[in-house]
Chain A
Amino acid sequence: MIDDAMTDPDMTVFVVDDDAGIRSSLVRALSLRGYRVAAFASAVEFLDEFELGMGGCLVLDYGMPGMNGLELQRHLNNMGAQLPIVFITGHGGVPESVQAIKAGAVDFLEKPFRQADLIARIETAFQITRELRQTQARSEQQQARFGRLTSRESEIVERIVENPREASSKEIASALGISPRTVDHHRARIMEKLGVKSLAELIALASR
């Protein structure tokens, strides 16, 4: 656990809470466990520092004067930030927690909470961040592979993916007004460029 954290220097735990006692205890605990930690007394202070590419986890107090936790969550969503949020709250109302989870929060912890519980949520958040990052990377990779196809090849992939039941070379050829042999040739090239062995693999790849 610790090792994971230590091995991932891109990950930061952002703590936003107006209570100084909570901020200092959390910063101390998380730092000792090897997390990179940044604490803020208000949402505005956090937004001043935060940039879109930053990853990790946001430990956010729900009830704060000024912009409260929910408002900050909505604001981040609107910005397009993909920072997973763990809410901590002294009020712990059911309606508020439902609202927060719906908006994409990892969890909603009622104060006071055990450190282990918080660490677990942070790890979940980190996992989500990592998966997000992998998906993003794969998607970029795929984008690059598909980018190597000619326009005729892309057109044929599109037809296959859109309508797998009519994916025979004959059917595609008649639809495009070319000979089935040419289609067969294109299909072989496509398989080769995308590194797939079967039609099913092609569809799975394209569907991601």
Chain B
Amino acid sequence: MNRSLGALLAIGLAGLQLLAVLAVVFSSYVTSESALIHHARILLRDVGVNTIEHSKGFLSPAQGAAELAARLAENRVIASDDPALLEQLLFQQLQIAPQFAGAYYGAENGDFVHVLRMPSGPGVYRTKIITHVNGKRRVQLIWRNDDFSIAQTQEDPTDPYDPRVRPWYVKSKAERGTIWTDPYIFFTSQQPGITLAAPVLKDDHSVRGAVGVDIEISMISDFLSRLNIGAHGKALIINHNGDVIAHPNKNLIKTEDDDGTLRFADIGEIDDPIARAAFGTLAAAGGMPVAKETPSEFVYQGARYVSTALPIISDKLPWTIAVYAPEDDFTGVIKSNRTQNIWLAVVVSLLTAGAGLALAEYIHRPVRAFATRAALISQGEIDASEPMPRTFRELERANAALVREIAARRTAEKEYGETFNMSSRGMAQLHPDTGRFLRANARLTEITGYSDEDLAGMTFTDLLHPEDRRFWTAPHATDSALNHNMRMLRADGATIWVSVSAIVIRDAAGRPLHDVVTLDDVTQSKVNEQEIQRLNKDLSHLARGNTMGQMAAGLAHELNQPLTAIAQNADTAIFMLEREGGLDPELRDIVTEIEQQAIRAGDIIRALRGFIRKDEGARTSFDFAELLGQSLQLLRAEATEAGVRIKTDVPADLRQIVGNRVQIAQVLVNLIRNAIEAMSADRHNERLVTVSARTDGPMLLVTVSDTGPGIDPDVALFSQFATTKRTGMGLGLSICRSIIEGNGGKLWNEEGKQRGAVFQFTAPLAASDNSPRDSKQETGIV
């Protein structure tokens, strides 16, 4: 682990703490916010419903009054054609219902009675009465006080008013029932209002006239302004055509057209931008009046708002109650609470982090001390067995293991170092890349004569005899151990023989750490070995010279010849002496003795030969090439030492030959050895012995030639005791010849060569299946 334990603990603890607190804060915020918004919606709806109820409560008395008046007129309870009674009835209505601005009756003949409140005039009420008597129209204005007393009267002949063309009359007549007009701005009071009209029917259901009531609805706005919807919430009433007919600020609902007439402000243009934002789009899309409660949320200038639109109050009044309020009115508290909580969480986290750091420090201090101590131990500055500071149990166990491990390693290193230094073999470690000496023991410096300092700058190859460097391969390169004897040059220039072994040491990953070389000085044993080789050769030479079998066989044959002649001549002498008579007995004895001694000599030779004959092997058929190979094996050392190369030229498909295998081998060895010896004195020319073999009729012809000085023509080669060699006995060739002849072949010297000697011999080939050997041999002889 590379990061500090302390930092990791502090960051981890603080981070976890912060995450936990934030999670709780946000979760509680989200749940309480949604609860509060839900609550706000309920509130908005309640406000809406409240408004609806209030409006109904405000307007329904008007309806009752108007309808009552109409029924009264209808049932002639009141003489509808008596304007004074009508005026009185209408006046009473106004007094009962304070929300009535005016009440009136229009008749089918154009008569009209209108009572309205007019506090600004001479009285509190003013009545307009239009009558037609005998085709004569009369317009009479009467101002009355509260008690119905007349304050002033006036005629107005210029008044053109005809109730029958007014919309309320036309509409109620057409509907034959109570109608509500759309709200509009009353002309006289310039207040927003609404007119309710009901037709007055005759018995035959024809229309007699219509009763109307004007209701000022600015009081609804007053009501709205008194409503408490959060801190900043508002409720308003929007007509089906988009007119805002009630608003907490009633000044906003009136607007003036270009021609100076007053009208309601449309929801799309009202000077309440939040209301515009909340409901303008809905109205513009033709969504007014809404069919059911329509809640929505919107953002205005970065603040979130909730709103709701409630459906119309009644069929007659197609008004939509619209309520909006900023969310903050409801969630503001918990928002500020959330911020508080976050800060609290940060503070708690910081505290926790501090506590974590302190805890980490507490845990980490002993660990750090342990790490420092481990580093010091590995640098060898303190001993592992020294008591360690108080720490955790786990670390103490680890320390114990470490101490054991270090002690074991120290011991192993010490043992290895001692083994390395005290070894009776020369030992060295070599760098695998450069081949240079990393370390060498005393024995190696002793063997090579170089000091440690000398060796430090050298490679192993530098030590080797130039001719023997090819035997050295760094073991890491071949990944195999090396084991070879080679020559080395000592510091003093002497050549020594060393037996070199080398292996590669690798680390756990398989990379070579170093090559380890061990070597022994084997110069003395090499000298001994060469001495033994020389002695061996001498011995074999001696053995060859004294090969009893061949020598005796040759001797026997050669000696028997003269002995035979002696015996014959002695016998002949005796015969002649007897024949001629006059025999001197003493001479006869002498000659007889000569004959007897000759025979005796023959007997001795026979006995000797009989003894030797035992070691003669039987004749067999065998492979000449194999025999030649074995013979060369015997001669290799001798040839190498004399600097002679031996070449063979033997066909692979030779038939086997028949004879005494050992004897023919001896002849072959003898001839090749003669060739080697003949050339050993010659230092200038190439020294090559060639042994070839080929089939010659029924025989195998073997040729042994050399590049030596050749044969002195004065020497009778095959005679016994004739020799060209200083050390020779002159028996070799004659013995060879008798051996070859004994085996059915011949041996001779090929003469006439300018240089070198050529000896040839033959040996019978074994019979093969389809070549009868006997007949061939006969033709060969004849």
The residues of A with any CB-CB pair to B shorter than 8 Å are 19, 21-22, 24-26, 28-29, 32-33, 63, 65, 67-68, 71, 75, 78, 88, 90-93, 110-116
Contacts and interface: CB of A to CB of B under 8 A. Distances in A.
Chain B interface helix/strand/loop/mixed: helix
B601 interface: yes
A65 to B, nearest CB: 7
Interface of B: 553, 556-558, 560-569, 571-572, 575-576, 579, 595, 598-599, 601-602, 606, 609, 613, 738, 741-742, 746, 778, 781-782
Given A111-B602, A115-B575, A116-B571, A91 B564 contact: no
Contact of A75 (B557, B558, B609, B781): B781
A111 B553 contact: no
Contacts of A67: 781
Contact of B575 (A29, A75, A91): A29
A189 to B, nearest CB: 50
B569 A28 contact: yes
B599 A91 contact: no
A75 B777 CA distance: 11
B565 A113 contact: no
Given A67-B781, A91-B556, A29 B602 contact: no
Contacts of B558: 90
A115 B592 CA distance: 12
Given A25-B564, A29-B572, A91-B742, A112 B557 contact: no
17 contacts: A19-B561, A21-B562, A22-B564, A22-B565, A25-B569, A26-B568, A28-B568, A29-B569, A90-B558, A90-B561, A91-B742, A92-B606, A93-B613, A112-B567, A112-B602, A113-B567, A115-B572
B181 to A, nearest CB: 168
B568 A22 contact: yes
A63 B557 CA distance: 9
A28 B563 contact: no
Contacts of A90: 556-558, 560-561, 564
Nearest to B601: A112
A4 B579 CA distance: 17
Given A26-B568, A75-B781, A91-B553, A111 B563 contact: yes
Contacts of A32: 572, 575-576, 579
A115 B573 CA distance: 11
Contacts of A92: 606, 609
A22 B741 contact: no
A67 to B, nearest CB: 6
Given A25-B572, A29-B572, A112-B599, A65 B741 contact: yes
Given A19-B565, A25-B566, 8 more contacts: A21-B565, A22-B564, A25-B564, A25-B569, A67-B781, A92-B606, A110-B560, A114-B571
Contacts of B613: 93
B560 A112 contact: yes
Nearest to B572: A29
Contacts of B741: 63, 65, 68
B169 to A, nearest CB: 176
Contact of A111 (B560, B569, B738): B560
